[in-house]
Amino acid sequence: MILSGPDPVGLALHAAMNGLSTRQNVIADNIANVDTPHFRASSVDFESSLRAAIERGDASAAPSIGVEPTATPVGANDNNVDLRKESIAAIQTQYQYQVVARAISDRAGLVSTAAGTR
């Protein structure tokens, strides 16, 4: 399979999918808790560690996926979920996920064509 093994491009794409999937889950959790008193929203960062791994030429090192509390100001119920910000992040993440999924699909097609199985 293209997403596993020593292929650095496949490994980078796989890492990006994992990071985006984690981000989608965290955003969904934030939105689900928009009215939960004392809830603190979180955000996900994986791009910086993925970029560093690629720059080092070590795509096999899985980037760390950092889930951190956001710095959004706390509201009246001691909750800091900003629904507008979370909705925009969800849409942006969905588009990023679609782009990476398309890259994986296109890459699989190229490999299949090159292997003569297509």
Question: pLDDT tens, 38-67?
Answer: 999 999 999 988 888 888 887 666 678 899
pLDDT for the residue 6: 61
**What does the angle CA 9 – CA 10 – CA 16 come to, to the nearest 5 degrees?**
90
Is residue 34 predicted with pLDDT exceeding 90? yes
Question: Can you tell me the distance from the alpha carbon of 72 to that of 75, in angstroms, rounded to the nearest whole number?
Answer: 9
pLDDT above 50 (res 4):
no
pLDDT for 2 equals 44
CA distances from 19 to 26, 34, 45, 77 (A): 11, 23, 8, 30
pLDDT at residue 102, as a whole number: 96
pLDDT on residue 60: 67
pTM of the model: 0.84
